[in-house]
Structures are given as C-alpha cells and as structure tokens.
Amino acid sequence: MSLPLGNLPDTRYPDPRVERLDPRFAYKQGNAAIERIATGFRWAEGPVYFRDGGFLVFSDIPNNRMMRWLEDDGHLSVFRAPSNYTNGNTRDREGRLISCEHDARRVTRTELDGRITVLIDRFEGKPLNAPNDVVVSSDGAVWFTDPGYGIDGPYEGHKAEAELPRNVYRLDPSSGTASVVADTFVRPNGLCFSPDERLIYVVDSGISHGGPAQIRRFDVDGARLRNERIFADDFAPGMTDGLRTDVDGNVWCSMGWADPAEDGVRCYAPDGDLIGKVHLPEGCANLCFGGRKKDRLFMCASTSVYALYLNARGAMTP
C-alpha cells in the first residue's frame, strides 16, 4: 500500500495559494490546503471521479496510459495501458466510462463488464481528427470536441493530416447519429454544461495555433446550440484547456502555458467575472469535482495531480 503524498511542503492554513478575488468566492475552506496526491506523469489530463468506487481515473497521455488513484489509501496503479493515448474522460448517466482516444481517433465507451464499444470514429466517411474532451447530457447524448492535437505528432498520438474541420459534435449513442453543433473554433477543447444544462461552455485553445484563448458559451436548444458568445477571454498569452461547473453555476477552468504566477485553476462567476484562483506549482490542463460529497477538486497539472477540498460541490458528477 502506498500512502498519499499529502500537503505541499510549505503548507499553512489558510492556504495562501487559494486566492479570493471577489466576495462571491465563498468556496475556500480555511483549514484545507492544496495537496499533491500523485506525481511522475508526463502530461496528466482527463480526470474523472468514480464515487461508487472511491477512485479517480485520469490520463497520462504521452505515456500512453490511464491511471487510477484510490482515495481511501492513495494507492496509484495503471488503469489501462496502452490507452491509445486517451485524453479526456467522463461518465455517462449509467456510470460507464466515456473516453477520447487520440491515437485511435475515436470516442469509446467502457461497458460495465469491461468491453470497449466504439461510439464514433468517423464523420461523413472521414476519420475524426483526434477527440479531446467529452461530456454527456442527461438525455444520454455524448458531446465532444475534435481539435486534433493527437495527430500533430507522435508525442500524443501519431502524425496525420486532418480530414475534417475541428468541430464540436453531439452524438446520440442510441441511433449512432452525430451532428456538428459548433464549427467556429480553431481548436475546440474542454466542454461542460451549466447545472441545469441550459448552457454549454466550450474552450477554444486555438492560441496554440494562432487563434484565440477563450471560453465560449452557448444556449442549449435540444440537439442544437444557439446564441454563441464569449464568456471569458482573459487567458492570453496563457490558455485554458478543461473546465467544470459547480452547483452554483460557477465555471472552474484550468490555466497554464505562460506566466507561472497564473498556473492553476480559475473560478468564474456565471456572469463571467473572475472571482477566485487556485495557484499550483505547475500548469494545469484539466480538472473535475469528486470525493464522496463532490466537494473535492482534482486538478491534472502537467506532471502531477493535485486535490483541494472546497466549500463547493461539483455539478454533473455521476
């Protein structure tokens, strides 16, 4: 049995690395600190928490593996290897793991008996680029982004030419029908719904390829998205990648790639105001809420995974 790494060496309460920028950021626990719970990865991504099992699954993309961290005793083990350079993960409403595989250029579902079902690997006869991140709505639809970082080169997949625009898709798994729901992104990346699913937030990490660094918000109208607008665009020269909402509708998003003082996680109020920051010693790619009470934020940050108890509860965690 391995024990959790525990708090960072300079921990003291209240943790000064959890920064309140606005009175609305009432989510800081005074006697909770940022913990580095696991380290030794090349690029940690795609965290998803299993409340029924009490463990976190996440991707270590360049190592072509997925990891599992047990919350009870901090034991870390390989969940799946090779993982086809899996990036984003989530669970559907039946608790099944949904994964975006860079190298196989597909979205898969891991059935409860362990079999893997390919949900989609082509659109209009052409291979997907390399799906990045995914979320499932309460009607069972699978919404995912296809920016194609996994075909930029061998480190996160393999080199290939994109044959499709870098779109956001909605897939109905029961019919197998997919549709493009957004085609205005340079590199669509993380995505999540508001707690009532009337809004969806989608990251454009296109700054990596000469585009913007933004979170955009749409109204969800059944199987369509309407009324696209910019929700936050104060990330450049850094960028955000993954995001989740809490039950109050705040948007928690990753931050990294530029100023080390900005590395970590940001919290935006539903009106788009930046109200809080969680400062990490590494740039962060993605995050999720978890823990038995959904009040623990798990952050995949470059070579490590960090955790922080908050006075906030995640929305949409199965």
Residue 76 identity: L
Instruction: Using the minimum distance from each CB to Mg ion, give the nearer residue, 87 or 250.
Output: 87
Scanning 117-125, 176-184, 239-247, 309-317 for contacts with Mg ion by CB under 5 A, the matching segment is 239-247
Contacts of 135 (CB under 8 A, 6+ apart): 90, 142, 143, 144, 191, 192, 193, 200, 316
How far is 198 from 182, CA to CA, in rounded Å?
16
**Between residue 26 and residue 85, which ones bind Mg ion under the rule CB under 5 A?**
none
Task: Name the minimum Å distance from CB 3 to Mg ion.
Answer: 30
Q: Does 241 bind Mg ion (CB under 5 A)?
A: yes
Q: How far apart, in Å, do the first and last CA atoms of the chain sit?
A: 27
Q: Does 132 bind Mg ion (CB under 5 A)?
A: yes
Whole-angstrom CA distances from 190 to 32, 199, 208 are: 27, 14, 14
And the tokens for 83?
A: 């993982």
How far is 117 from 134, CA to CA, in rounded Å?
15
Task: Name the minimum Å distance from CB 19 to Mg ion.
Answer: 24
Residue whose entry in the numeric block shows the structure tokens 């003082």: 261
Instruction: Using the minimum distance from each CB to Mg ion, give the nearer residue, 32 or 67.
Output: 67
Instruction: Using the minimum distance from each CB to Mg ion, give the nearer residue, 70 or 258.
Output: 258
Instruction: Using the minimum distance from each CB to Mg ion, give the nearer residue, 27 or 231.
Output: 231
Task: Name the minimum Å distance from CB 103 to Mg ion.
Answer: 15
Task: Name the minimum Å distance from CB 81 to Mg ion.
Answer: 20
> Per-residue DSSP letters for 103-129?
TTTEEEEE-TTS-EEEEESEETTEE--
Scanning 31-39, 93-101, 184-192, 266-274 for contacts with Mg ion by CB under 5 A, the matching segment is 184-192
CA of residue 265 relative to chain centroid, distance: 12
How far is 61 from 63, CA to CA, in rounded Å?
5
Scanning 57-65, 90-98, 131-139, 253-261 for contacts with Mg ion by CB under 5 A, the matching segment is 131-139
**CB atoms < 10 A from the CB of 225, how many?**
21
Size of the site for Mg ion (CB under 5 A): 4
Task: Name the minimum Å distance from CB 100 to Mg ion.
Answer: 8
Among 59, 63, 110, 189, binds Mg ion (CB under 5 A): 189
Instruction: Using the minimum distance from each CB to Mg ion, give the nearer residue, 27 or 298.
Output: 298
Q: Which of 49, 80, 75, 47 is nearest to 63 (CA)?
A: 80
Scanning 27-35, 126-134, 160-168, 304-312 for contacts with Mg ion by CB under 5 A, the matching segment is 126-134
Scanning 9-17, 236-244, 251-259, 307-315 for contacts with Mg ion by CB under 5 A, the matching segment is 236-244
Among 15, 92, 101, 133, binds Mg ion (CB under 5 A): 133
DSSP structure class, residue 241: -
Task: Name the minimum Å distance from CB 254 to Mg ion.
Answer: 8
In degrees and rounded to multiples of 5, residue 222 shows phi and psi of 65, -120
Interface contacts to Mg ion, rule CB under 5 A: 132-133, 189, 241
